[in-house]
């Protein structure tokens, strides 16, 4: 059964929990890595990457059957554009993801005895970083839309994000909700609030490009009709297998 056939409250709980734990891991592992790396940024980034990859794979495997395991407004928006998720549901997904991610960042501060409310001073801006975010999100959507079996989603998504941490200039946020949450932490994972809007715009541009290319590569990603009376679509079997 497609995750989108689950009751909406159950799906939102899955998105909230996954977003919360993902952001807590990204921010918390960054704090721990910075404390233990002795100023070696490569070691700190490696530790941050490893924790993020591990938790992302686990959360997708665990919560994919519950909500689709988006944890990412860009993914939810693309699923709405494809006709697989009602726009109303995509909006509630997005709000839930943002709240969950922000709560995760705050919880990471509590775990490490840091001031709970912070604004990042970490400068991340410029065309190179915006291009990096677009490419990171483009690749993420190709993986989300193109994987053949549901059991492949956890390792493929996690592997892409782990690689993109290292080959992109931005260290691959690839997620508007995570970007907002990371603007609220003045730690290793942070981004200045002033820099976040351009990152988010680049992420949505990359996501749209990913959808366009995926439609050419993977015919099952073509848009489906959403019946107005249900606000939800029952996907064909080939598409159901590709639920992330």
For the chain, the domains span 3-240
Q: What is the pTM of this model?
A: 0.89
Fold for 3-240, please state it.
Glycerol uptake facilitator protein (1.20.1080)
Contact in structure between 191 and 83 (CB atoms under 8 Å): no
At 164, is the secondary structure helix, strand, or coil? Answer: helix
* Angle at 238 (CA atoms; ends 235, 239), nearest 5 degrees: 45
What are the pLDDT digits (tens) for 138-183? 999 999 999 989 899 999 999 999 999 999 999 999 999 999 999 9
What are the pLDDT digits (tens) for 185-215? 999 999 999 999 999 999 999 999 999 999 9
| Range of 114-118, 222-226, 237-241 with top mean pLDDT | 114-118
Rounded Cα distance, 202 and 207, in Å: 9
* pLDDT band (50, 70, 90) for residue 2: confident
pLDDT at 116 exceeding the cut of 70: yes
């Amino acid at each position: 059964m497609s995750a989108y056939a689950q009751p909406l409250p159950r799906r939102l709980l899955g998105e909230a929990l996954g977003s919360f734990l993902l952001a807590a891991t990204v921010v918390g592992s960054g704090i721990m890595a910075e404390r233990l790396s002795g100023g070696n940024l490569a070691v700190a980034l490696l530790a941050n990457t490893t924790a993020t990859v591990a938790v992302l794979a686990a959360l997708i495997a665990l919560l994919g059957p519950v909500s689709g395991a988006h944890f990412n407004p860009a993914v939810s928006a693309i699923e709405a554009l494809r006709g697989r998720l009602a726009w109303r549901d995509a909006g509630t997904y997005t709000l839930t993801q943002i709240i969950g991610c922000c709560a995760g960042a705050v919880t990471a501060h509590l775990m490490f005895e840091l001031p709970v409310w912070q604004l990042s001073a970490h400068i991340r801006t410029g065309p190179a970083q915006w291009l990096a975010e677009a490419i990171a999100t483009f690749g993420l959507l190709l993986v989300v839309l193109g994987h053949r079996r549901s059991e492949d989603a956890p390792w493929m998504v996690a592997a892409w994000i782990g690689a993109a941490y290292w080959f992109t200039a931005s260290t691959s946020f690839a997620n508007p909700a995570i970007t907002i949450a990371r603007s609220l932490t003045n730690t290793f994972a942070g981004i200045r609030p002033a820099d976040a809007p351009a990152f988010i715009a680049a992420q949505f541009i990359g996501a749209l490009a990913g959808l366009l290319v995926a439609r050419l590569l993977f015919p099952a990603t073509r848009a489906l009709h959403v019946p107005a009376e249900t606000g939800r679509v029952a996907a064909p079997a080939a598409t159901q297998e590709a639920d992330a």
